Structure 1
C-alpha cells in the first residue's frame, strides 16, 4: 500500500499530472507503430543544444524515446559534409526564436542537400519559427504571417492546439485534433502560419488553430508539402517542450505521430484530409442513375394503441422526432424547420402549400391551425378545409437515416401540392458552415429525387417521392415566389440550395415524400433511399412496433394515477429518443434537441448547433443511471464504450463530443461520473466480463482523478481540470466544489466495488479507504454550522463559498451526509425559497445572486428537481420527493408535447433554456421514480435486489413489471384491502433472486402479521419521519406472495400542483411531517391571505381535532382540511398544522 501511495503522490510532483504508467504506455504505443528504428536528424543552428532551453528540451524528448536513433546535426556540418543526412528517415528543425535564419541555414548548398534528402523520400518536420523555412527551401512562395495570442486562464485553462478537417494520420489516437498546449502560467504564444485570406499556394492545410472549443479555420498553422518522394510538415505554434504543460502527453503523442508519419512508419487508419480554401460554389450537376420502379403509395393504417398527445388546434410550440440516425424538428402548425442526419443538417425550411383547383393562390399549411397528434413513432397534422381534408404523417426509421412524410388527401376536387425545401449540408459545430466545400445539386429521373452532395462526394442527401412531379425548380435561391402560374427562385448569395416540387393529387389520393442522407458516400445514400422508397409504410409500422416493444419490455409502472402513468411512459420514450448512432463514432446518448435558431450560435454566422444534439459526458452519465435502472443494459454498455474510445491520453473523460467528431475535455466531473456509471452498470447488469475488459480505462480514469489533487488534501479539483457542475455565472469558480467532491467520493465507492468483484483486493481496500476519508472531509470541512447547510465550494485560499444551492442534494442522494445534517437542508428544498410550482431552483429566490432567467443562477432545471427528489426519497421525505417527481413529469403537457424542457424560468412558468426536449430532464422523472418511489437498488453480482416501495398512501394498487437485475427479471403487483396489503411477485431467472423487501406504511401503523406464501416470516419494523418501514428478506425462484396485516396509521398526501404557462412561482408547500404520540404535525408554507387544502390519509377515522386549520370532511380514508394563511407583509408564511388523535 505504501508503494501505491508513493506512486500516486510522487508523480504529482513531476511533469503536469502525468504518471509513469501513462508515459510508458505512450512509448509502447509509439514503438508498436514503428516496425523499424526511426533515425532522426535533429537540426540545430548552434554547436550545443544547451544554449537554448527550448531546443534542449525538444532534443531531450527525442533522446528519451527508445524508438529513435537521434543525431544532432548543425547546418554548418551539413554544409561541410552533405552525407551527414544519409541514413536518416526524418529531419527535425525546431526553432523557438524569432530571429532570422543563420547564414549556414540559408546556404544554397545546404538547401540543395536538404531538398535532395526530401526528394529521395526523407521527411522534414519544421516547428515554431522553423515554419518560415518553407520559403527558404523553395517549397512555398506565399510568405507566412506572424500573429500573437494572449493566453490567460479565465476558468477553462489555457488550452490551445491544432485540429484537422475531420481526420489526418498525424492526429492518430487524438481524435482529429489535439490541445497540445495548456501551460501552467499565462503567456503569449507566437503563431506562424497563414492568416485571414492568405493560403499556401503549394502546400495543403493539415490543421488550423484550435482555441479552447473554437476552430479558427482562418488561422492555418499546420501545412503539408510533398516534394519528390518525401514529405514536409510545417507546424507553426504550440510545440513547446521546455515550459510545464498540463497537456504534455498530447504534445508528445502529436510530435511522435508527425515524426512517424514523415518516416512512413505510422500505421494509422486515419484518412488524410485537408482544409479547403477554394471559392465556395453552388453548382448543378447531371445525375445519371438507372431507373427504379417504386410502388405507388397506399393508404396508411391507423395506430390507435400507442401513446398519443392530441390537440384540436396547433400552437407555435416545437416538436421533434429523434431516432438513431435522424432528427426531424419543426413547429406544430406546419412544415419542418430542420432535418439533421448526424453529423450534418440535411434539409431545412421544408414547407408545404396546397393549390386547390378552384383557386389560383397557394394555401401554405404552416399558416393554418391543424389538429395535431404526437406519438412516439410519428407526428401527425390534420388540416380541415371547407372542401378538403389533408392528413400529414411524419415518421422516421429507427436505425437508418431515412425520414418519411405521408400525405393523404380527400377533397371534392383535385389539387396541387407544392413542396419547398433548402439544403446547405451544414456540418455540425465547431466546424464552420463552409467546412465541407462547394455544393452540387441535381435531379435524378431514375430515383425521382433531388440530390445534393459536397465536393468530396462523401456527404449526400436525397429527397423524392413515389409520385411523379408536375414541375420542379432548383438552384442557389432563398425560396420561391409565384408569378402568374409559375414559381421563380429568389437568387441569393447564401451558401445553400433551394428546391421546389409540385405534385398533382386526385380527389382521394396519397403519396409519400422520402428524405435520406449520409456521410458514407453516394452508394450508401442511394441504398438508404431505395430501401425506404420501396415500402414507406413498412418503416412507419416498424417504428410503431419498436416503441410498442420498447414499452412492453422496459420497467413499467402502472398506478391508480393515470396522469403519472401517462407521464412515466412518455419519459421512457423521451429518454430513448436520445440514443444516437453516428458512423465512425458509435452509439451513445446525446443531450438535447432544438433547432439552430435556439441558443448560442458558436460564434458562427450560420449556426451548426442543433440544441445540444451531440454527446456529452455529465449529461450522458447522469442519464445513463436511469437506463441501468430500467434495464436497458445494452445502451449503457454502448455509452461506456464511447467514453472509453474517446478517453484522453491522461485518462480524462470528455465533456463534449460533437457528432462531427470534435472532442473537448473541459469538465472536471465527467471522469468521476464515468466511474459511477460503470459501477452502477455492473450492479444492475452483472456484466463483469465487460468491466474486466474495460478495467484499463477505468483504472486510467481513477489515476487521472487522483492526479488532480494538486494540494494533496484528498479532494480532486476543478483547478486546471474544468468546470463541474457550474460552467459560468456568479456562482462559478472554486478549487473544489461540494458537488465535485461528492462525485469523487461516490466514484471511489464504485471503483472499490468494481475492483473487489474483479479480485483486485488491494485496490478495492485502498479506494474504499479513500472513500471514507473523502466522506469525512465533506462532512467536516464543507458543513456550515451557522447556516445549517453545506458550502457551495472550497476556494483556493482555503475559505468557502457559503451560498446555499441545490447541489448538496447530490451529496444527499449518494448518502454521504451525517444524519443530523440532512433535514435542515431537505426542509429548505421543500419550501418556496428553493421550490417553485414547477421544480427546484439552483439557489434561493431570496439570494442576491438570484436571476430567474439565469442559466446557472436562478432558473429551474428538471435535473435539479430530480436531484432534490432523489435526496428526499433517500432520507425519508417521500411526500416532497413525489411532489418533485410530478413537477418534472407534468412539463410534458405544455411545450414540446410529450417531452420535458431543459430549463424553466425561476419566477414564471415558461421555458428558459435552449432545448424543449432534454435527455436528463426525462431521466429525472425515471430515476427518482425507480430508485426513489420504488426504492430499487441492485447487486447483480450477489443476485440481490432491494425493493422499498414508498408510494403515496392512498394508492391501493400498483403493478410493476420487468425489474431487471443481471439475468433476473422480477415483477410484482400490490393490492391493498381494509387492514391488509398483498404483494404478488413473479420471477424468471436461472437462479433464485434474493430480495430485501421494505415496504412503507403510514406513521403509526400497527403491523399485526406478515406472511410469505402463507407462513409467518421474520421481520423488523422501523419508524422514520414520514412512514413506518417493514423489513424482510426472501428468496424467490418462480412466485411468491407476501401478505401484511396492519391497522391505523396516518400520513400526509403529496400536494400536486398543475401550473399553467405564464403562471408565477410561489404556492402551497408541505415542508415536513412527524407523528409524536397522539399528535401528528404537518409543517406547511403558503402565501399570506391564501387558503389551501391539505389532505391527510388515515385508514381509520381517528382525528379528534385539528389546530390551525379547518376540518372539511373525511372521505375515502382522507381528511381534507383548509389551511388559512393570515395577511402579512412577508412573502410566505409557515404554519404548523396539528392533528390530535384519539
Structure 2
C-alpha cells in the first residue's frame, strides 16, 4: 500500500479527497501545509497547483521518494536545482474559444510510457468550456534542459508537438513527474473522470514517476530532428534471400489500368502498404507506422517512363512503360506477414537505370515529421546496403540493392534522398524492424523462404482465399467476379502495427493525414461482419481482439485509430457495432473459448450503455442499441451468464421502445430490401453496387456490401453455430436457371447449397461437405405459402422445411 500525501490549495481539498477515494492501492492524506508532511512516512508527494519548496524534498527524493507536480507546481524542479529551464507558458484565466477550440484535450506520449498504462499512447483528460477558469504551466517555446519529455499536448486526435505538457526527472533512487495541464479533478470534468483517475493511478500507484523500481527505461519524446548523422563506420545488417526470378504472377483477380488512366492503385501486406498511379508510378510506401518511400522517380536511359499501363493483382503490381524507345517494367510486392517490400525496375541489358526516392521515417499522422529525432544513416562500403533510423526510435530500415549501387544524401526535412544506379535490372528490398527481435524474425524468414518463398506465400494465400472461403455461382459472371474481388479486398485491409495491434484498416482518409492505413472501429466491424458471411474468419477475429484490447477505460470503443496509436473513442455507433460483431462472430463460428477471453471487454462496453442509456432521446441510437443488445443475449446465455442475458433483454426492450419506428441497418441498404420482401429491389441494389465496385469505386463499404448482399441478402443465411443450426432463405430470381453457394461455413460445418429449375419446378441440393451434422431450416422465398416441398422424397406442406444435414439432401418445390 503506497502512502501518498497531497499538498494543494484550500479550494481543492474536497475534490481531491473525493478523487483519492476511488484510487485503490494507496493510503492518502490531503493537506494545505508543507510542514504537515511526515517525510519518513511518505512514499509519494503530490503537489497540486501550489508553489512550495522545502530543503527536505531533495534528500527524500534521493532516498527513493516520488514527487508528482501538477499545474502551477511544475516549476518545483527548478526550485530544487534539478532543472534550469522553467515552464514558459503560464496561464491562469478563462477559456476563450469558439466551438472548434473546445475539443477534448490531454496528453500524448511517444511510446508505451508507464504513465499511460491502459490508455494507449495518450489520453484526453478534460474538455474546455467557454468562459470556464483553467490553469496550466507548460513549455511552448522552451524545452526542459534535464528532463525526459513524457507527453505533448493532444487535442482530440491531433497533437501540438511544440507544447510539452508532461516531463520527468530521475533523482537518486526516486524521481519527479511534472504534468502542467489537464489535471482538473472537479465535478465539471466528469466526462473524462475515468481517464483522469487512471492517469493519476499510474502516477501515484504505478510506475509513472521515475524510481529505482522501474524495470526498463520509459520512452520519451526525443528532441525534434534537425539533421542527418552519417554513421558509415557502423556495420549495416546484411539480410539473405534477395535474389530470384520475378516473372508475372498467376492470378484470377487482375485489374488492368490502361494508358492515360487517372486511377490509382494500392497494394498491401499485413505490415506494409504501397500506393501508386499508372501515370506516375510509385507514390509512397509505409511499413506501419513509418514512411519509407515518397517522391520517387525513375529514369531509364536518362528519360522518365511514359505511356504506362499497369496490371494490379492482390499480390503485386506490374507497370509497363516506355522511356524514350526503351521498354521498362517496374514491379512491386509486399510480403504477406512480414515488414518486407520489393521494388524492381527492368529494361534492356545495356540501359542505364536510375531510381530515386526520399525517406524520413516519419510516423503516421498525427505524429509530426521529425518526431523521432535526428536521423542516423549508414551506407556499406560497396554501396549495396544501407540502414536508416531515428535516434529516439527503435525502428530500423534496412535497404538492400541487387544489380546496382546505392548512394544517399541528406535533404531538407530532415530526410534522406536515396539514389540507385545500375544497368538493365535493379532490385531494391526494404526491410523494416520495430526492434532487434523483429529484425531477427525477418532475417530468419528471408533465410528460410527467400524472395521466391515470399512470392509463393502471397500466391498461395490468394488461392486459399478463393478455394477455402465461401464462393457463389450465378448466371451473371460479374456478380461472381465481384464477390471474389470483395473477399480479396476485405482480406487486404488486415493490418498489423507493432505496439498498436492488428485489425481491419482502411487507406488513410485524407491527404493531410498521411499514414498508409487507418484503423476504423465502426467501419471495421461492418467489414468484419461481411467477412464472416464470406467464410473468412481471420480478419473478424483479429478485429474483435483489437477493439477489445484497445478499449478505453470507461468502456468506449475505438472510432478511429492511427497506425501510430493515437485513438478517438466513441459510444454510438461504435459500441453497438462492436457488440454486433461479437454476436455475429458467435453465430458464424461458435468459438466460445475465444469469446470468453473477450467477455470482460464486451461486458464493459454494454455496461456503459446500460448505465448511460445513450438511446433515451435518440431513436436511431436506440435502434442500434436494441439490435446489439438483442443479438448479444444468446452469447451471454452460452457463456453461462443467464442473469446478464436477462438484463440485456430488459435493456433491449427499453431501447426498442425508445426507437419507435427507427431502424438500424448494420449493413448495406439492400439487406433491408430483402428482409422486407422487396426481393427484386434487393437484387437491383446488389447489381448496382457490384457495378460501382468493379468500376473501381473507392467506398470503404463497397466490398462488404457486395459480400453481404450475396450471402445474407440473396441467400438469406442466418447462422446459429451456438445451437448447431442455420436458416437458409434464398430468393431464386425467376429468370435464373441455377445458382449455388459453396463452402458456407457455420461453426465447424461446411455446406454447399445449389438451386436449379427443372420442368418448371425448383430443386435444391444441400450437402454437408465437412464437419458435424447441422440443423438446417430451409425456406425458398417467393414461393406460394401453400407450396409443397419434398425432402429426400418425403413430402411436406408449407414451403418451409427443417432437417438434420448429415450428407447430401434433395429438396423439390411444387404447387
Both proteins in one fold, TM over 0.5: yes
CA distance in 2: counterparts of 1:872 and 1:523, whole angstroms? 49
Is the contact between residue 742 and residue 751 of structure 2 (CA under 8 Å) also seen in structure 1?
A: yes
Whether 2:815 is the aligned partner of 1:1037: answer no
Give the structure 2 partner of residue 500 of structure 1: 419
- Alignment pair present for 1:645 and 2:526: no
Specify which of 194, 206, 211 is matched with residue 139 of structure 2: 194
1:1010 is aligned, of 780, 789, 793, to 789
SS of residue paired to 1:889: helix
Map 1:625-1024 to 2 at 5 A. 625-709=529-613, 716=615, 736=618, 738-779=619-660, 783=661, 808=663, 810=664, 813=665, 867-895=668-696, 900-902=697-699, 918=700, 920-1001=701-782, 1007=787, 1009-1013=788-792, 1015-1020=793-798
Mapping 1:567-578, distance limit 5 Å: 567-578=482-493
Structure 1 CA distance for aligned equivalents of residues 487 and 606 of structure 2? 32
The structural deviation recorded for 1:697 is 1.5
User: Are 2:523 and 1:619 aligned?
Assistant: yes
Distance in 2, Cα, partners of 1:980 & 1:297: 60
Following the alignment from structure 1 to structure 2, what is the Cα–Cα distance between the partners of residues 561 and 271?
A: 61
CA distance, structure 1, for counterparts of residue 14 and residue 434 of structure 2: 45
Task: Provide the secondary structure at the position in 2 that maps to 1:997.
Answer: strand
| Equivalent of residue 404 in structure 1, options 334, 337, 342 | 342
Over 3 Å counting, the alpha-carbon distance change for 1:476 and 1:188 in structure 2 is farther
Match of 1:329 in 2: 275
Q: CA deviation at 1:1001?
A: 4.1
Structure 2 CA distance for partners of 1:388 and 1:68, relative to 1, 3 Å: closer
- The whole-number CA distance in structure 1 between the counterparts of 2:468 and 2:212 is 47
Q: Secondary structure at the match of 1:672?
A: helix
Give the aligned partner of residue 7 of structure 2: 43
**Structure 1 pair 525–332 and aligned structure 2 pair: CA distance change class (3 A):** farther
Q: CA deviation at 1:526?
A: 9.2
Distance in 1 between residues matched to 2:165 and 2:242, nearest whole Å: 55
Residue aligning to 2:150 = 206
SS at match of 2:119: coil
Distance in 1, Cα, partners of 2:781 & 2:611: 44
Name the CA shift for 1:155/1:756 in 2 (closer, same or farther; >3 Å).
farther
Partner SS state of residue 599, structure 1 = coil
Q: Name the structure 2 match of 1:348.
A: 294
Choose the corresponding residue for 1:318, options 245, 264, 267. 264
Q: What residue number does 2:223 align with?
A: 277
Distance 2:172 2:790 in 1: 87
Please report the RMSD computed on the Cα atoms of aligned residues, expressed in angstroms.
2.9
Q: Is 1:517 aligned with 2:432?
A: yes
Structure 1's 190 and 421: CA in aligned 2 closer, same or farther, altered over 3 A? same
| 1:395 CA displacement | 1.7
Partner of 1:160: 105
TM-score, with structure 2 as normaliser = 0.93
The alpha-carbon deviation at position 572 of structure 1 amounts to 1.0
Determine the structure 2 residue equivalent to 1:369: 307
- Residue deviations 1:537-588 (CA, integer Å, cap 9, x gap): 3322221111011111111012111111111111111111101111123221
Taking the aligned partners of 1:143 and 1:401, their CA distance within structure 2 comes to 43
Superposed displacement of residue 527, structure 1:
3.9
Render the CA deviation track for 1:584-613: whole Å, top value 9, x for unaligned.
Answer: 2322101x225xxx7351xxxxx5343xx2
Question: What is the SS of the residue equivalent to 1:560?
Answer: coil
CA offset digits 1:1055-1078 (Å, max 9, x no partner): xxxxxxxxxxxxxxxxxxxxxxxx
Among candidates 85, 97, 101, match of residue 39 of structure 2 = 85
Contact kept in structure 1, 2:522 and 2:577, CA below 8 Å: yes
Residue 537 of structure 1 is matched in structure 2 by: 452
The match for 1:169 is 114
Q: For residue 654 of structure 1, give the secondary structure of its aligned residue in structure 2.
A: strand
Shift in alpha-carbon separation, 1:248–1:223, aligned structure 2, 3 A:
same
Tell me: CA distance 1:447–1:638, structure 2 relative to 1, closer, same or farther (3 Å): farther
Q: How far apart are the structure 2 equivalents of 1:767 and 1:540?
A: 48
Structure 1: gaps (5+ residues): 1-36, 46-50, 356-361, 478-492, 602-606, 710-714, 718-734, 784-789, 791-807, 815-865, 903-917, 1021-1029, 1047-1142
Q: Which residues of 2 match residues 40-189 of structure 1 at below 5 A? A: 40-44=4-8, 51-52=10-11, 54-62=12-20, 65=23, 67-72=25-30, 75=33, 77=35, 84-95=38-49, 101=51, 105-106=52-53, 111-144=54-87, 145-147=89-91, 150=95, 154=99, 159-182=104-127, 187-189=132-134
Larger relative contact order (Cα-Cα within 8 Å, sequence gap ≥ 6)? 2
Q: 1:270/1:764 Cα in 2 relative to 1: closer, same or farther (>3 Å)?
A: farther
Cα distance in 1 for partners of 2:200, 2:785 equals 71
Residue deviations 1:428-465 (CA, integer Å, cap 9, x gap): 11111121111122322578223221113512223332
Offset, 1:640: 1.2
- Mark the runs of 5 or more structure 2 residues left unpaired by the alignment: none
Deviation at 1:393, TM superposition (A): 2.6
Question: CA separation in 2, counterparts of 1:663 and 1:68?
Answer: 30
Instruction: Tell me the secondary structure at the aligned position of residue 56 of structure 2.
Output: helix
Report if the CA contact (8 A) 2:23-2:201 is conserved.
Answer: no
Supply the distance in 2 between the matched residues of 1:547 and 1:702 (Cα, whole angstroms). 37
Aligned to 2:386: 450
CA distance in 1, matches of 2:630, 2:100: 29
Q: Give the Cα separation in 2 of the matches to 1:149 and 1:445.
A: 61
Counterparts of 2:554 and 2:284, CA distance in 1: 38
CA change 1:157–1:869 in 2 (3 A) is: farther
Residue deviations 1:739-796 (CA, integer Å, cap 9, x gap)? 32211011110222222222322322232233233223322xxx5xxxxxx6xxxxxx
Note the C-alpha offset of 1:938. Answer: 0.5
Give the Å deviation of 1:63.
Answer: 5.3
Which deviations, in whole Å up to 9, do the C-alpha atoms of 1:141-182 show, x marking residues without a partner?
Answer: 223221367387949975221121122111112112222224
Shift of 1:89: 1.1
For the Cα contact (< 8 Å) 1:166–1:660, is it kept in 2? no
Quote the residue 2:396 is aligned against. Answer: 460
Residue 465 of structure 1 contacts residue 514 of structure 1 at CA under 8 Å; is this kept in 2?
yes
C-alpha separation in 2, matches of 1:336 and 1:241? 50
> Matched residues in 1 for 2:456 and 2:99: separation?
52
1:871-906 Cα offsets, whole Å, 9 max, x none, are 1111111212122222222223434xxxx312xxxx
1:220–1:173: structure 2 CA closer, same or farther, 3 Å change rule? Answer: same
Distance 1:286 1:876, change over 3 A: same
Say if 1:151 and 1:58 are closer, same or farther in 2 by CA, change over 3 A. Answer: farther
Distance in 1 between the 2:736 and 2:785 partners?
A: 16
Q: Relative to structure 1, is the Cα distance of residues 1005 and 278 closer, same or farther in structure 2, using a 3 angstrom cutoff?
A: closer
Other structure's SS at 1:991 match: coil
Kindly tell me: are residues 528 and 923 of structure 1, through their superposed partners in 2, closer, same or farther at Cα, counting changes over 3 Å?
Answer: farther
Post-superposition offset of 1:1006:
8.8
Change (3 A) 1:1034 1:156: farther
Q: Say which of 344, 350, 358 aligns to 1:422.
A: 358
Residue 593 in structure 1 maps to residue 507 in structure 2 = yes
Distance 1:150 1:642, change over 3 A: same
